[in-house]
């Protein structure tokens, strides 16, 4: 189950997980049946097989086969017993002159012999050898006048059949029955025959308790899906006018925006059965299993119609086939079967296919054409009103203090998805419990935002006084550049408390309004703020440290976007050099989308232009911070004393500096 389904705070487990399997009921006085120890039986059979076949049978008194033949030539042997795995030669004795009462009859010892391998004198044979393929042995025995006869295989017929046939068959059949249920990954004795069965989880009609009231911040997407719900409830009016409802609806959006929750809410509103399956559940190591599961899924859906089939992570089976280099790939066969099934769908049966993906650019074009997934619903990150609505939805089951302002929290969380906001509320509740409070305060929510954005506080991390001083000037450099750069977001908080894996401090800026576009000057201003920390280090200490690695990476990426994605350069003005597939929705880097579509000289210009932008902005930051050096030093000392400066405290420092400069100018 995807983490996106956990938006709703858990008050009643049956409402959030209606499709959870019910616990099995057992009789109060029933006693468990003893299970047959088949494992012990198989182990014992294996041991018997090892002893019977693998361990060689050893006997004393063996001689080489050539030595045995030589003893026949030397007339030391009077009688030979030829067995399937042993040749026994009986030596001559004083009783040789006495003739036996009867000789061998039909290759078997006569009545004069007391037992096989035993001499008539009662002495044990002294010559034994392992036979080899030799057709001349019988001729040698005839020429030397040696009696010989054959001996049947040891043991009775039942023993031979049991150890050679029955026991191995039982062992391997038992082993097969033991492993068979695990081959298909299912239980209940289905085993290998369940490989082609669909792994979709079926939620019956009326059991989906999630509705559109539980989904917030995606009003446009809900409006798009209401048409499907209306069709499932009353299809007659659509069929009467000759209209056709889309067969498939593709939910597209970044991770955590609520695509899975929307699908569940759609089924809950329509009150129809709901099939939920992930794209990876179709793909199996055995070729043909994925296509069989697709056929079985659509067969079950037709039997349950009207219903909704939801395929999560569609890109697991729907990737484009243009990059496949021939062959019969299992994923390609599964995709082909899905395309065939969607083509053969009768729109009147009332089966709606919903799918979700956060990488639409990787899907095959045949999936996206009209007649298949012909409606695309974008589930984007929420705006300010959407974030506030999501926060109110997730805070229903959390005890909030009346002084909490969720609107202020919504303003402080731009770019947060629904799952991020749900995690934020949960973190705030945990912090309140940790502090010994019974209600969540505003400070808990603020601390939760900092924890989600920058990581957990590391107060026990040992930092030297010199490092702490450098970090303080670094963060104040960011804050001053944000203050004196036109169009930059104001500073909300500055801290030198270590957080996360490697952050020794952070500067938090809070946007004053929702922004969906950025101008060229605003992008350059962001670069100025990012490199302000390193510029402050050079102004105050004369050298730089490794603490600006993350800042430089982000600043360089902004400069690269300006040159390659937005046409903000002199030589290639209004020209896009990077593939449009590498969008913000997928996060796919350009390198993974194939070779570049421009020359080496263009690449050289791009590199030089990015370096020029970074150099110019760094020079400007150095110049500004040298002018504000006194303010930089005074603010860094205050930050070292308090470790954290709020918006009001930092703004008061700026105002004090302005008054000092004004008084100095008046005295001058």
CATH number of residue 394's parent domain: 1.10.8.60
Assess whether 517 and 485 both reside in one domain. yes
| pLDDT value at residue 28 | 39
Q: Is 427 inside a domain boundary?
A: yes
Provide the residue range defining the domain that includes 132.
65-154
Assess whether 392 and 476 both reside in one domain. no
Assess whether 597 and 565 both reside in one domain. yes
- Nearest C-alpha neighbor of 353 from the set 276, 445, 413: 276
Assess whether 441 and 480 both reside in one domain. no
Residue that finishes a domain, picked among 398, 429, 454: 454
Assess whether 479 and 433 both reside in one domain. no
Q: Is 96 inside a domain boundary?
A: yes
Out of 482-486, 522-526, 543-547, 595-599, least confident range: 595-599
Q: 268, 204 in Cβ contact below 8 A?
A: no
Assess whether 474 and 519 both reside in one domain. yes
Assess whether 101 and 204 both reside in one domain. no
Assess whether 527 and 576 both reside in one domain. yes
How far is residue 607's CA from residue 598's CA, in Å, rounded to a whole number? 13
Q: Which residues are catalytic?
A: 475
| pLDDT value at residue 113 | 39
Provide the Cα torsion 443, 448, 454, 455; round to 10°: 120
- Alpha carbon distance, N-terminus to C-terminus of the chain: 71
Residue that finishes a domain, picked among 417, 434, 454: 454
Assess whether 440 and 490 both reside in one domain. no
- In this prediction, residues 200-207 reach a mean pLDDT of 63
Residue that finishes a domain, picked among 103, 135, 154: 154
Joined together, the tokens standing for residue 425 give 């509320």
Q: What three-state secondary structure class fits 77? A: strand
Domain CATH for 340: 3.40.50.300
Name the domain count of the chain.
4
Strands 373-378 and 248-252: parallel
Assess whether 361 and 392 both reside in one domain. no
Q: Is 183 inside a domain boundary?
A: no
Q: Is 58 inside a domain boundary?
A: no
Q: 451, 427 in Cβ contact below 8 A?
A: yes
At a CB cut-off of 8 Å and minimum separation 6, what does 3 contact?
256, 419
Domain CATH for 528: 1.20.58.760
Q: Using one digit for the tens of pLDDT, what is the confidence trace for 212-249?
A: 888 888 888 888 888 888 887 887 888 788 877 777 89
Q: Is 180 inside a domain boundary?
A: no
How far is residue 539's CA from residue 534's CA, in Å, rounded to a whole number? 9
Residue 642: count of CB within 10 angstroms of its CB: 13
Joined together, the tokens standing for residue 494 give 């500055």
pTM for the model stands at: 0.67
Q: Which residues of 518-536 are buried (b: 16+ CB within 10 A; e: fewer)?
A: eeeeebbbbbbbbbbbbbb
- What does 85-145 look like in DSSP terms, one character per residue? S-EEEEEP-GGGGSPPSS--BTTB--TT-SSTT--TTSPPP-EEE---S-TTHHHHHHHTT
Q: Using one digit for the tens of pLDDT, what is the confidence trace for 495-506?
A: 998 887 678 888
Helix axes 289-304, 330-343, angle to 10 degrees: 20
Q: Using one digit for the tens of pLDDT, what is the confidence trace for 21-73?
A: 444 444 333 444 444 455 556 666 666 666 655 554 544 457 888 888 888 88
Mean pLDDT of the chain: 78
Going 44 to 46 to 52 to 58, the CA torsion angle's sign is negative
H or E stretch including 408?
A: helix 406-411
Domain CATH for 73: 3.30.720.210
Q: Is the peptide bond before 306 cis (omega within 30 degrees of 0)?
A: yes
How far is residue 48's CA from residue 362's CA, in Å, rounded to a whole number? 57
Q: Using one digit for the tens of pLDDT, what is the confidence trace for 395-409?
A: 988 999 999 999 999
Assess whether 416 and 434 both reside in one domain. yes
Q: Is 161 inside a domain boundary?
A: no
Q: Using one digit for the tens of pLDDT, what is the confidence trace for 407-436?
A: 999 999 988 999 999 999 999 999 999 999
Q: Using one digit for the tens of pLDDT, what is the confidence trace for 274-328?
A: 888 888 877 766 667 778 888 888 888 888 888 888 999 898 888 887 765 554 5
Assess whether 494 and 608 both reside in one domain. yes
Q: Is 26 inside a domain boundary?
A: no
Higher pLDDT, 357 or 193: 357
438 has a pLDDT exceeding 80: yes
Higher pLDDT, 98 or 311: 311
Q: Is 174 inside a domain boundary?
A: no
């Amino acid at each position: 189950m995807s983490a996106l389904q956990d938006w709703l705070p858990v008050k009643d487990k049956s409402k959030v997980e209606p499709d959870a399997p019910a616990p099995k009921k057992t009789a109060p006085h029933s006693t468990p049946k003893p299970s047959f120890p088949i494992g012990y039986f198989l182990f014992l059979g294996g041991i018997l097989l090892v002893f019977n076949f693998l361990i060689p049978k050893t006997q004393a008194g063996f001689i080489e086969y050539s030595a045995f033949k030589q003893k026949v030539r030397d007339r030391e042997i009077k009688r030979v017993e030829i067995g399937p795995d042993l040749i026994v030669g009986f030596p001559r004795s004083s009783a040789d002159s006495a003739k036996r009462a009867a000789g061998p009859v039909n290759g078997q010892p006569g009545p004069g012999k007391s037992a096989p391998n035993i001499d008539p004198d009662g002495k044990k044979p002294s010559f034994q050898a392992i036979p080899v393929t030799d057709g001349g042995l019988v001729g040698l025995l005839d020429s030397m006048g040696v009696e010989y006869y054959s001996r049947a295989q040891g043991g009775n017929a039942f023993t031979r059949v049991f150890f050679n046939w029955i026991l191995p068959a039982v062992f391997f059949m038992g082993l097969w029955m033991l492993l068979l249920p695990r081959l298909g990954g299912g239980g209940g004795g289905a085993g290998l025959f369940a490989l082609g069965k669909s792994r979709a989880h079926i939620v019956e009609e009326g059991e989906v308790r999630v509705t559109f009231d539980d989904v917030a911040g995606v009003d446009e997407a809900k409006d798009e899906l209401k048409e499907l719900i209306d069709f499932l409830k009353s299809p007659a009016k659509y069929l009467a006018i000759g209209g056709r409802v889309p067969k498939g609806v593709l939910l597209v959006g970044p991770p955590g925006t609520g695509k899975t929750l929307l699908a569940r809410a759609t089924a809950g509103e329509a009150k129809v059965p709901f099939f939920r399956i992930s794209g990876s559940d179709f793909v199996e190591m055995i070729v043909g299993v994925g296509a069989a599961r697709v056929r079985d899924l659509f067969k079950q859906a037709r039997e349950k119609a009207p219903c909704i089939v939801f395929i999560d992570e569609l890109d697991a089976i729907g990737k484009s086939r243009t990059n496949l280099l021939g062959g019969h790939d299992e994923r390609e066969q599964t995709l082909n079967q899905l395309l065939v099934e969607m083509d053969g769908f009768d729109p009147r049966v009332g089966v709606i296919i919903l799918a979700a993906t956060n990488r639409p650019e990787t899907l095959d074009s045949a999936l996206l054409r009209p007649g298949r997934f012909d409606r695309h619903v974008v589930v984007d990150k929420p705006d300010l009103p959407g974030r506030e609505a999501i926060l109110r939805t997730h805070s229903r089951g959390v005890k909030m203090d009346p002084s909490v302002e969720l609107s202020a929290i919504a303003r402080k969380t731009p770019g947060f998805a629904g799952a991020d906001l749900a995690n934020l509320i949960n973190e705030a509740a945990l912090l309140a419990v940790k502090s010994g409070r019974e209600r969540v305060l505003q400070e808990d929510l603020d601390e939760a935002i900092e924890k989600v954005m920058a990581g957990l506080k590391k107060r026990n991390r040992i930092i030297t006084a010199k490092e702490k001083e450098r970090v303080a000037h670094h963060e104040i450099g960011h804050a001053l550049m944000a203050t004196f750069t036109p169009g930059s977001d104001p500073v909300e908080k500055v801290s030198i408390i270590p957080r996360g894996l490697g952050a020794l401090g952070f500067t938090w800026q809070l946007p004053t309004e929702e922004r969906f576009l950025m101008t060229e000057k605003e992008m350059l201003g962001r670069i100025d703020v990012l490199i302000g920390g390193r510029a402050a280090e050079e102004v105050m200490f004369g050298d730089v440290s490794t603490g600006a690695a993350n800042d430089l990476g982000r600043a360089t990426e902004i400069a690269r976007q300006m040159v390659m994605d937005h046409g903000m350069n002199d030589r290639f003005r209004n020209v896009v050099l990077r593939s449009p597939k590498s969008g913000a929705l997928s996060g796919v880097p350009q390198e993974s989308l194939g070779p570049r579509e421009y020359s080496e000289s263009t690449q050289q210009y791009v590199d030089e232009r990015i370096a020029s932008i970074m150099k110019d902005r760094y020079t400007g930051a150095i110049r500004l911070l040298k002018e504000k050096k006194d303010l930089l030093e005074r603010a860094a000392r205050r930050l070292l004393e308090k470790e954290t400066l709020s918006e009001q405290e930092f703004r008061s420092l700026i105002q004090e500096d302005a008054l000092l400069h004004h008084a100095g100018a008046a005295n001058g």
